[in-house]
């Protein structure tokens, strides 16, 4: 069945030729990444989308990535997401309306402060537009520290959304760990408005359920069972996990770490399980382990991109039918692009 599907995908790609570019995030299934023209992290894929000439960008990733591709590409290019169900739960944790009302509360509590909002790429276009309209920008896990520096050159406080762990890990990286306050939008008693008004870094209380599962005990177990192992984790992991790891970085940093390892080295990977599996396949000379063994999760949103759906959207394009088009509303597009461009410039 897979061989037949591969043939159909290859035939459709050959037919579409330069009219289509397929982008694949590092967390996509093997059957998707092996058909991708570019595989990478969120930042790399947004750059590839920006540089793509093809009429169609077929995105192996999740909704917020496809939205960003639509914002960055030209108006005559069309972005297609093989499944409309591929929505990152973390991106859904900071809805623009909800952020708008929090912003009103926070700015009222700190009337003299100049607050710059930064949203992680893992957010929807309306939140990116919100950030731009308040002088803020987008970042990914590979440039969050640069985005914070940008913000502190222009203001005196940062509101970071939606991932509290990436925000906290970035604050530590910048030596600003004593400046953190958290903002829990779901718990009316869960925030201390005065503390927030005094803090320089305000973190929205969102998180990734895939990365929150990693615990310090997993690293301790790896170090006991594999004394030679080194550990690389994604910055969406909890602070104590990042602290106990040897290397922390975006999915492309994780890929580079294993690619640059000497044969025979052992690396335990603290991120989504598909990437760990890819690394085992791509680098058989390195001993690649999953940081939490069988408890490691795949990302349900990423998994929605079934290879049968990829086949379907490509074959439909061959027939001249555009399916699953991701189109950001024009009123959000312009401002969201400002927020993305600020990131691409830093
Ligand atoms: P990267 O930007 O590191 O690829 O991460 C994206 C993501 O969704 C991590 O969970
Ligand atoms: Fe979202 Fe986490 Fe999946 Fe990344 S791994 S897309 S942050 S749910």
pLDDT digits (tens, 9 = 90+) for 112-149: 999 999 999 999 999 999 999 999 999 999 999 999 99
Q: Distance between CA 217 and CA 289 in Å, rounded? A: 15
Last residue of a domain, one of 298, 316, 340: 298
List residues bridging with 138 in a β-sheet.
119
Whether residues 245 and 234 share a domain: the answer is: yes
* Residues 28 and 110 both lie in one domain: no
| Three-class DSSP category at 183 | strand
Residue 194 forms part of a structural domain: yes
Instruction: Give dist(CA 321, CA 340) in Å, integer.
Output: 30
CA of 19 to the centre of ligand 1 (A): 27
Per-residue pLDDT band for 341 (boundaries 50, 70, 90) equals very high
Beta strand 157-161 pairing with 137-139: unpaired
**63 Cβ closer than 6 Å to some ligand 2 atom:** no
Write out residues with Cβ below 6 Å of ligand 1: 26, 41-43, 122, 140-141, 208, 234, 236, 250-251
Instruction: Tell me: do 152 and 75 sit in the same domain.
Output: no
Which atom of ligand 1 lies at the shortest distance from residue 43's CA? 2
The confidence score (pLDDT) of residue 112 equals 93
Residue 198 domain-assigned?
Answer: yes
CA triple 286-290-291, angle to 5 deg: 115
pLDDT reported for residue 1 = 87
Does 80 lie in the same domain as 30? Answer: yes
Mean pLDDT for 63-70 is 96
Contacts of 4 (CB under 8 A, 6+ apart): none
Residue 339 maps to a domain? no
| pLDDT at 46 (0 to 100) | 87
Tell whether ligand 2 has an atom less than 6 A from the beta carbon of residue 138. Answer: no
- 141 marked ligand binding residue: yes
- Is 254 part of a structural domain of the chain? yes
User: Is position 84 within any domain?
Assistant: yes
Whether residue 110 is found in the same domain as residue 123: yes
Same domain, 198 and 220: no
Q: What is the pLDDT of residue 194?
A: 83
On whether residue 341 sits in a domain, the answer given is no
237 known member of a binding site: no
- The C-alpha atoms of residue 86 and residue 121 are separated, in whole angstroms, by 15
Give the tens place of pLDDT for each residue, 224-270.
999 999 999 999 999 999 999 999 999 999 999 999 999 999 999 99
- Is pLDDT of 343 > 80? yes
Please report which confidence band the pLDDT of residue 206 belongs to, taking 50, 70 and 90 as the band edges: very high
Structure-block tokens of residue 202: 């305000």
Cα(258)–Cα(265) distance, rounded to whole angstroms? 9
Query: Is 253 inside a domain boundary?
Result: yes
Q: Whose CA is nearest to atom 2 of ligand 1?
A: 42
Cβ count near 197 (within 10 Å): 18
What's residue 293's pLDDT? 78
Mean pLDDT of the region 23-39: 97
**Whether the Cβ atoms of residue 163 and residue 120 lie closer than 8 Å to each other:** yes
Domain-embedded: residue 209: no
pLDDT at 73 over 90: yes
Whether the CB of 302 sits within 6 Å of ligand 2:
yes
Tell me the pLDDT tens digit for each residue of 277-304: 999 999 999 999 999 877 778 999 999 9
Residue (of 18, 34, 15, 30) closest to 280 by Cα position = 30
Atom of ligand 1 nearest to the CA of 42: 2
Using a 6 Å cutoff on CB, does residue 275 contact ligand 2?
Answer: no
**Res 197 pLDDT > 80:** yes
pLDDT for the residue numbered 187: 84
301 lines ligand 2 (CB under 6 A): yes
62: Cβ below 6 Å to ligand 2?
yes
88 is in an annotated binding site: yes
Q: How confident is the model at residue 92 (pLDDT cuts 50, 70, 90)?
A: very high
Q: Which of 182, 204, 226 is where one domain is finished? A: 204
- What is the reported pTM? 0.96
- Please report, for the domain that includes residue 311, its CATH number: 3.40.50.10800
pLDDT of residue 39: 97
Shared domain check, 318 and 235 = no
- Asked if residues 226 and 265 have their Cβ atoms less than 8 Å apart, the reply is no
Could you tell me if 112 and 192 lie in one domain? Answer: yes
Cα separation, 93 vs 315, in Å, equals 34
Alpha carbon of 139 to ligand 1 centroid (Å): 11
What would you measure as the largest C-alpha separation in the chain, in angstroms?
A: 64
Local confidence band at 328 (pLDDT 50, 70, 90 cut-offs) = very high
Range of the domain at 193: 91-204
Number of domains in the chain: 3
pLDDT for residue 188 is more than 90: no
Structure token digits, residue 258: 């294993």
The whole-angstrom separation of Cα 50 and Cα 337 is: 11
Distance CA(245)–CA(187), nearest Å, equals: 31
Q: Is the pLDDT of residue 192 over 90?
A: no
* Contact predicate 242/248, CB 8 Å: yes
Whether 111 and 196 share a structural domain: yes
In terms of domains, do 100 and 112 share one?
Answer: yes
Amino acid 160: pLDDT: 98
Whole-number pLDDT of residue 189: 75
Q: Please tell me whether residues 119 and 199 are part of one structural domain.
A: yes
Question: 120 and 193: one domain?
Answer: yes
């Amino acid at each position: 069945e897979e061989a037949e599907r591969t043939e159909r995908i290859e035939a459709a790609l050959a037919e579409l030729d330069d009219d289509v570019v397929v982008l694949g995030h590092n967390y996509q299934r093997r059957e998707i990444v092996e058909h991708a023209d570019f595989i990478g992290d969120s930042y790399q894929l947004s750059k590839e989308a920006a540089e793509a000439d093809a009429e169609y960008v077929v995105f192996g990733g999740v909704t917020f990535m496809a939205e960003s591709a639509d914002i960055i590409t030209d108006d005559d290019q069309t972005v297609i997401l093989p499944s409309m169900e591929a929505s990152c739960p973390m991106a859904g944790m900071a809805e623009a309306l909800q952020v708008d009302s929090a912003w009103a509360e926070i700015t009222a509590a700190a009337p003299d402060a100049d607050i710059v909002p930064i949203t992680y790429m893992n957010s929807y276009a309306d939140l990116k537009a919100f950030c731009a309209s308040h002088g803020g920008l987008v970042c990914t896990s590979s440039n969050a520290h640069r985005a914070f520096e940008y913000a502190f050159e222009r203001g005196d406080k940062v509101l970071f959304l939606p991932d509290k762990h990436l925000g906290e890990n970035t604050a530590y990286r910048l030596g600003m760990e004593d400046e953190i306050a958290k903002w829990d939008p779901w718990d009316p008693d869960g925030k201390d408005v005065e503390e927030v008004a005094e803090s320089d870094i305000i973190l929205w209380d969102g998180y990734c359920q895939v990365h929150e599962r990693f615990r310090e005990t997993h690293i301790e177990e790896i170090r006991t069972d594999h004394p030679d192992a080194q550990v690389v984790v994604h910055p969406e992991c909890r602070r104590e996990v990042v602290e106990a790891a040897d290397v922390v970085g975006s999915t492309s940093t994780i890929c580079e770490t294993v690619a640059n390892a000497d044969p025979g080295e052992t690396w335990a990977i603290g991120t989504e399980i598909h990437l760990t599996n890819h690394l085992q396949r791509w680098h058989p000379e390195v001993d690649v382990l999953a940081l939490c063994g069988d408890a490691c999760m795949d990302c349900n949103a990423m998994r929605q991109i079934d290879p049968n759906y990829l086949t379907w959207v490509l074959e439909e394009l061959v027939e001249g039918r555009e399916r699953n088009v991701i189109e950001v509303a024009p009123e959000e597009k312009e401002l969201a692009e400002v927020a993305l461009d600020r990131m691409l410039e830093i």
